[in-house]
Structure 1
Amino acid sequence: MNQTVEKAKKRLNQLVHYEKVDNTIYFKGTKEIVELKVLSDEIIRVRLAPRGFFLDDFSYAIENSNFDITSLETEESDDAICVKTASLNCYIEKETMQLRIEDKSGLVINEDEKGVHWEENSDHGGNYVYCSKRIQDDECFYGLGDKPSDLNLRGKRYSNWGSDTYGYQKDRDPLYRNIPFYLGLHHGVGYGILFDNTFKSYFDFGKEDPDVASFWADGGELCYYFIHGPQLLEVVQKYSDLTGRHKLPPQWALGYHQCRWSYYPESTVKDLAHNFRVKKIPCDAIYLDIDYMDGYRCFTWNKDHFPDPKRMISELKEDGFKTVVIIDPGIKVDDNYWVYIEGLENGHFCQRGDGPLMEGSVWPGKCNFPDFTNPEVREWWGKLFEEFVEIGVDGVWNDMNEPAVFGIETFPDDVRHDFDGHPCTHRKAHNIYGMQMVRSTYEGLLKLQKTKRPFAITRSGYAGVQRYSAVWTGDNVATWEHLQIANVQCQRLSISGISFVGSDIGGFTQDSNGELFARWIQLGVFSPLFRTHSAGDTMDQEPWSYGEECEDIVRKFINLRYQLLPYIYTTFWQCSIHGMPMLRPLVFIEQNHKETHHRQDEFCFGDHLLVCPVSEPGVKGRKLYLPEGGWYYYFSDKYYQGGEEIWIDTPIDEMPLFTKSGSVIPHFPVMQYVGEKVVETLTLHVYYKNGEEISHLYEDHGDNFAYEQGICSVKSFSLLGDENSLHLIQYTHGDFIPSYHDVELIFHGIKADKISISQDGKTSKKVTKQKDNTFSIKAIRDFESINIDFE
């Protein structure tokens, strides 16, 4: 830790006075003011004004801060002021102005070690700001975005400063994203802290002092939000209440995506599309990297490579492919380039501190860079996509937006930004630059595409970026270690509020091989963003690139992805409406069970699927932990009782995948792309449970905004089983009418050889078990109940 921060480790002055104004309590020392603002019964904001005044209350992270407060009161004792909500007691010590937060049982959830501090920044002006917390017994830490390390952060230190990290390795820090949100867990109680500071920031989870967790920044304000669970899932939900949630994407965005640096010319793109369809491997999107541009100039086309992009995109669309194009922030300095001319004439580019425009080299050569923190620039940038939308481009891939600059890594500190009317240097704007770029993209597409849902992905981002975009984990490497890293990164991003995430399947740099690619595809099936991507200096990396055996395995698992799309879409809906992370580490399933606190291979995808990717070569089997309850191995229906570690065989054409007992998993028929077929019969796979379970199915048009006017449907399935019978009840809410009129119900795990079935109270009929040990029946789409008696 540097000396400046070390100096900052001093106590604030004693409390002189406090006052309550509505839901905010101000604690005044001789110089400093600490503000404690109660947003809800479980969310409290803490701010420090070192010299007695606060900065403007502005944040790119926070979307909503208006919540209900059940009760709020203050009590004073000889030693402390206690701020009480319906869920928490927050004590401010008079002697030190330190904070201690307890739940209503008296358990200390979070407490200051030295608390909030500050020190003048003599090099840049302003202040270093700092906060230290006591680490509780057996406390674990999670979150913090895309850090490529073990899931549990205890004993580690990290920084947030968006960086272009080509071919990064395990524990490399910092990376592309800047998500200053972490979760703590001890004594079975979870909480979260969002450190809303966009300067270069640091997080220490007991590395320097094993008893102290701390976070600090090189400037700005000490402002953080404490979020009480007590369940870790609830913490993430409340975090997303604050910072916003993913919008429902177009359903095609949940299909398989094929990308490479680069597919060109047009004949290469058309051959790629042809091979997918001939080989019957589903695919929804093809990406065009920077070589589609004229001299790497954004918003242009290389007419030698793509003489008629509108025709090409239209022909791809006829074959079921969406086209996604890359866009970088660097605009080539070129007096004959219309985007450069517009940006220059309207003052849209960033300036250096002494006046000249910020200039740096990227792919086109010398470039200027838009100031995406200026709302006028965001409006201009969004309109630049008009021609792309007119010719049929369906999505935009935002890259190099840390921002990356060749030779100097990123912008110099003195570059100026508008910061939405709060002018600042790049020291403050760096970590939100990429987020504001993809915000500009998303908002532009939203206006131009009108009734269509936008699709955008970004490499860099800050807390709240999920409101605008999906993300991927950056320029990874084709190694088994990176397959392991990708698994953990996707889980970590999901519990950091960013569920729409995936990795470059197969690895971006270096050559993959058939076994590694097949295993990575298996992980990708259970990553919300399912995209293969590779660099131009590597071997081809399409599903058929590694021989027929690998191709067959890849086809099998991409088919599985398309069969599971209604389940995946429903899981995304839960994320967008309720803030539920799509990928859930086992500690989020059993936070009271210490066995799960350090496990990171296994995760749950939604409510009812458990996944454990194979991430080592040549293995014939592996150990994994199943949470408590019953689980069915997906490929054989073999039943396992959870709550312990098991051994599972891992043939190359299977992966450890389990379905929770009692669940109802909807399946589509296999399609070559979303919407290829009209679904005439929906298949519901029902898994027996001796007990009760609830499942859901969300449906809408899949590509427009009619769901916002209530044109959608939520089906809830309530299953109740015992030793002799099984009862399934369906409740439907909403006005959306799907294409299918019938459902096929396939019942798994019933031990009887024959069953008697009655639908909606009608006369029962007998059904015999099939060769695969399942029972299959047809029912009308809107059945109310299915009753099964075992014989």
Structure 2
Amino acid sequence: MITNTELEYKGNLYPNNILECKREGDKLSFTTENGVILEITVLRDSVLRFRYATENIFEPDFSYAISEDASTGYNELEVEETPTEFLIITAKLKILVDKQTLRTQISDLEGNIINEDELGFHWEENYEYGGNTVKMSKITQSSESFYGLGDKATHSNLKGKRVTNWAMDQYAFAKDQDPLYKAIPFYVGLHNNKAYGVFFDNSFGTTFDFAHERRNITSFWADGGEMNYYFFYGPKITNVVKAYTDLTGKPELPPLWVLGFHQSKWSYFPESRVMEIANKFRDLKIPCDAIYLDIDYMEGFRCFTWNKNYFPEPKKMVKELSDKGFKTVAIIDPGIKVDKDYWVYQEGMENDYFCKRGDGPYMRGKVWPGECNFPDFTNPDVREWWAGLYKELIADIGIKGVWNDMNEPAVMEVPTKTFPLDVRHDYDGNPCSHRKAHNVYGTQMARATYEGVKKFTYPKRPFVITRSAFSGAQRYTSTWTGDNVATWEHLWIANVQVQRMCMSGMSFVGSDIGGFAEQPNGELFARWIQMGVFHPFCRVHSSGDHGDQEPWSFDNEVTDIVRKFIELRYQLLPYLYTMYWKYCKEGTPMIQSLVYFDQEDHQTHFRTDEFIFGEQILVCPVQEPNAQGRRMYIPKGKWYNFWTDEMVLGGKEKWVVADIDKVPLFIKEGALIPKYPVQQYVGELVVKELILDVYFKKGIEDSTVYEDGQDGFDYKKGRYSVRNFKLRGKDDQLIIQQFKDGTFITSYDTIKLKFHGLPFQIKSIQVDNETVSFEDVKLNGSNSIVLSKEFTVLELTGI
């Protein structure tokens, strides 16, 4: 056993004896003989912040990740002292701080250890750059599992893995390749049916080792900065993820069209080709809401310009697309071409907005336009300037969304694929090198873009998508998983990445459906669509190098399958919108891994394929060629097969038939699933009737439908509609209660309830405690009835 009195072991330094303990409100500070300070802040009864300083000095307390709207406040905070330790007690936790070593142990109020330091905090001086490499090691508990860390292309359970957070352009990345495009230093630990989370709020390059190097030790470290981490206690994973999402921020609602189907390619040009794609969607009646313009729409790849040969009248084209129901989304990269005749370059130079090297020259790097300078998006003045650059694109031409790419930042033809580490950044008044700013660069670009799009789209809602992201990016932007490959393995990878991102607080995520690099065959494309329509962000995007990748690019059978599943997504838009609303309101992930859904079932701890879409739909993609079905795990409970209405008992594996035109899809018993009619684009039809698919349950189940004006900000003033339904089922009775909130008036007057699995034939119907005739509610056998949307209680009695 290493004792911290040795002060140094294998080049590392350690805290020693505590000399002093101070309390100021919600903060407790412990100072050691050798100048280490541990500051523990109790944000909430189950949320703690651990911050360590060396040489008695903390760095300025600044973070891009933490939301200004994060919830704080605790119910109880007591401090006790014994001869060997300090004891901090909240309403949920007990924290021991060892007087000799500064090591901590966190347990619940029953004394069950949740998280415990091994060596605890230690550090090593960085002689090359200055400052410290800061480290933390924890004891891995018995049978502990680990989840999170963003879009890692590896198994969902990270036990035995070591991963690094350093945003990097990784074209055609492989399974287990690391790092990738995003840096999200947050993980969830689960053992003994108790979950906790750790968010290491440090923007330097960070590494997490989950019992990889040493079997019983979990550790994490950063190349600089402070050891500054937040601890979240569950005991449910749901509590942990919601608390982390609350701390790092929740997004605003997007416009409903953003949840539709999007089509992209590198690149659609000229204008005639874009219109050809749009017309083909409408001719084939395949719903689509957005078409993307990649870098070829620009003049020599210069941002905020148009290639007049390809797009002579962009405003006219965007208007024509809009008339057909398409919103146009345009790409903008960070690299600004070095060109004295280019107005964006001129403005950047005149105002000194570009990044500089350590000794003063401007940072130059090659990207698509050639030699470029790069704005310092960590400078608030630069962000304001960048936001203003969107005026023409958004307000004048009518672009509805912006896609930020290459913002890791990516640089071509250099081994590191990014900026030199000596590049300087403002970091909002905390000047630093690229070592610290690298991981947040993409998020701050997306933030600036969001502010610009929001300003010039107003009174409509903005839409931004980014490739690179750090914790907290969800406040500004959606994302996708980067330049994947058209292989069956990448279909599996995309599924795991999306689930992991949702558990990491960033739910508005999808993959390049069909694969970006290389070319899928029709079967792979169809299977990817079947998965992608159940991911929060749904976009086909490809490099175009190996052929076309539109829904009709294969054969008629594939086209019909693609249409069928895109239509299903459009039917489920009110369900999907309600999922997003819960994400915004409560931090509930839009996609739930099975372990999130039921952590008590140990069978879920290593599942990767199945996921819960929202809270009531179970999806399991088919991920092998020539499959007519697959084995899958059905979580505990009872589930209806979406295609057959067969009831299935969960808690076990099951073979599920799923030929090329089906995907294993199950509905939780008791669910009320809202649907709209199929539209070719959001807003094409005025919804005249809300459909609720009612899946009978002997027992109680709650369901919710959220609606509003589908765009704009009136929902923040109460102009929304929330319908909460409570289903109560018995052998010969079904009662559905509706509780309404909000002032928004929906376009429909009636609700059609379609019954699945009803165990009796309807004998009588009561609406709001009055018996009604079968004709009055258009009873169709025992399959459906139509009610006024204002009903409060429906009671069906059976024979």
Contact 1:151–1:492 under 8 Å retained in 2: yes
Q: After TM superposition, give the deviation of residue 752 of structure 1 in Å.
A: 2.5
Aligned counterpart for 2:644 among listed residues 636, 645, 657:
636
Question: Secondary structure at the residue paired with 1:604?
Answer: strand
Give the match for residue 444 of structure 1.
452
Q: Map of 1:32-47 to 2, 5 A cutoff?
A: 32-47=36-51
Contact 1:717–1:728 under 8 Å retained in 2: yes
- Name the CA distance, whole Å, in 2 between partners of 1:648 and 1:744: 30
Work out the percentage of aligned pairs sharing the same amino acid.
Answer: 54
Contact 2:779–2:786 under 8 Å retained in 1: no
Give the match for residue 249 of structure 1.
254
Q: Look up the equivalent residue of 1:12 and give its one-letter code.
A: P
Task: Kindly indicate whether residue 737 of structure 2 is the aligned counterpart of residue 733 of structure 1.
Answer: no
Give the match for residue 22 of structure 2.
19
- Name the CA distance, whole Å, in 1 between partners of 2:600 and 2:750: 42
Give the match for residue 242 of structure 2.
237
Question: Secondary structure at the residue paired with 1:39?
Answer: strand
Report how many residues are paired: 787
Contact 1:505–1:533 under 8 Å retained in 2: yes
Q: After TM superposition, give the deviation of residue 762 of structure 1 in Å.
A: 2.5
1:748/1:508 Cα in 2 relative to 1: closer, same or farther (>3 Å)?
same
Task: Kindly indicate whether residue 175 of structure 2 is the aligned counterpart of residue 170 of structure 1.
Answer: yes
Q: After TM superposition, give the deviation of residue 766 of structure 1 in Å.
A: 4.6
1:773/1:552 Cα in 2 relative to 1: closer, same or farther (>3 Å)?
farther
Q: Map of 1:208-357 to 2, 5 A cutoff?
A: 208-357=213-362
Aligned counterpart for 2:678 among listed residues 667, 670, 673:
670
Q: Map of 1:556-635 to 2, 5 A cutoff?
A: 556-635=564-643
Give the match for residue 657 of structure 2.
649
Instruction: For residues 467-496 of structure 1, give each alpha carbon's deviation from its aligned partner in whole angstroms, at most 9, with x where no partner exists.
Output: 000000000000000000000000000000
Q: Look up the equivalent residue of 1:155 and give its one-letter code.
A: G
Give the match for residue 103 of structure 2.
98
Contact 1:769–1:775 under 8 Å retained in 2: no
- Name the CA distance, whole Å, in 2 between partners of 1:611 and 1:100: 39
Question: Secondary structure at the residue paired with 2:770?
Answer: coil
Of 484-493 and 615-624, deviating more is 615-624
TM normalised by structure 1 equals 0.98
Give the match for residue 62 of structure 1.
66
Of 624-633 and 542-551, deviating more is 624-633
Give the match for residue 405 of structure 1.
411
Give the match for residue 540 of structure 1.
548
- Name the CA distance, whole Å, in 2 between partners of 1:135 and 1:308: 61
- Name the CA distance, whole Å, in 2 between partners of 1:350 and 1:602: 44
TM normalised by structure 2 equals 0.97
Question: Secondary structure at the residue paired with 2:10?
Answer: helix
1:710/1:770 Cα in 2 relative to 1: closer, same or farther (>3 Å)?
closer
Contact 1:10–1:114 under 8 Å retained in 2: no
Q: Look up the equivalent residue of 1:150 and give its one-letter code.
A: H
- Name the CA distance, whole Å, in 2 between partners of 1:778 and 1:742: 7
1:277/1:109 Cα in 2 relative to 1: closer, same or farther (>3 Å)?
same
Give the match for residue 691 of structure 2.
683
- Name the CA distance, whole Å, in 1 between partners of 2:798 and 2:562: 38
Contact 1:755–1:766 under 8 Å retained in 2: no
Aligned counterpart for 1:51 among listed residues 42, 52, 55:
55
Contact 1:7–1:119 under 8 Å retained in 2: no
Runs of 4+ aligned structure 1 residues displaced above 4 Å come to 766-774
Q: Look up the equivalent residue of 1:331 and give its one-letter code.
A: I
Contact 1:385–1:444 under 8 Å retained in 2: yes
Q: After TM superposition, give the deviation of residue 295 of structure 1 in Å.
A: 0.2
Give the match for residue 488 of structure 1.
496
Question: Secondary structure at the residue paired with 2:512?
Answer: coil
1:75/1:773 Cα in 2 relative to 1: closer, same or farther (>3 Å)?
farther
Q: Look up the equivalent residue of 1:367 and give its one-letter code.
A: C
Contact 1:756–1:767 under 8 Å retained in 2: no
- Name the CA distance, whole Å, in 1 between partners of 2:11 and 2:750: 68
1:769/1:587 Cα in 2 relative to 1: closer, same or farther (>3 Å)?
farther
Give the match for residue 669 of structure 2.
661
Which runs of no fewer than 5 residues in structure 2 stay unpaired? Answer: 1-7
Q: After TM superposition, give the deviation of residue 445 of structure 1 in Å.
A: 1.2
- Name the CA distance, whole Å, in 2 between partners of 1:708 and 1:642: 40
Q: After TM superposition, give the deviation of residue 7 of structure 1 in Å.
A: 3.5
Give the match for residue 187 of structure 2.
182
Instruction: For residues 180-222 of structure 1, give each alpha carbon's deviation from its aligned partner in whole angstroms, at most 9, with x where no partner exists.
Output: 0000000101010000011111000000001000000111111
Give the match for residue 206 of structure 1.
211
Q: Look up the equivalent residue of 2:224 and give its one-letter code.
A: G
- Name the CA distance, whole Å, in 1 between partners of 2:653 and 2:276: 47
- Name the CA distance, whole Å, in 2 between partners of 1:446 and 1:488: 31
1:705/1:740 Cα in 2 relative to 1: closer, same or farther (>3 Å)?
same
- Name the CA distance, whole Å, in 2 between partners of 1:723 and 1:650: 31
1:771/1:614 Cα in 2 relative to 1: closer, same or farther (>3 Å)?
farther
Of 639-648 and 451-460, deviating more is 639-648
Instruction: For residues 430-473 of structure 1, give each alpha carbon's deviation from its aligned partner in whole angstroms, at most 9, with x where no partner exists.
Output: 00000000000001111122211100000001000000000000
- Name the CA distance, whole Å, in 2 between partners of 1:673 and 1:6: 64
Instruction: For residues 599-622 of structure 1, give each alpha carbon's deviation from its aligned partner in whole angstroms, at most 9, with x where no partner exists.
Output: 111111111111111111111221
Contact 1:329–1:370 under 8 Å retained in 2: yes
Give the match for residue 364 of structure 1.
369
Question: Secondary structure at the residue paired with 2:771?
Answer: coil
Instruction: For residues 702-721 of structure 1, give each alpha carbon's deviation from its aligned partner in whole angstroms, at most 9, with x where no partner exists.
Output: 11000111111111000000
Q: Look up the equivalent residue of 1:15 and give its one-letter code.
A: I
Aligned counterpart for 2:479 among listed residues 467, 471, 478:
471
Contact 2:169–2:410 under 8 Å retained in 1: yes
Instruction: For residues 352-375 of structure 1, give each alpha carbon's deviation from its aligned partner in whole angstroms, at most 9, with x where no partner exists.
Output: 111110001100000000000000
Q: Look up the equivalent residue of 1:524 and give its one-letter code.
A: G
Question: Secondary structure at the residue paired with 1:597?
Answer: helix
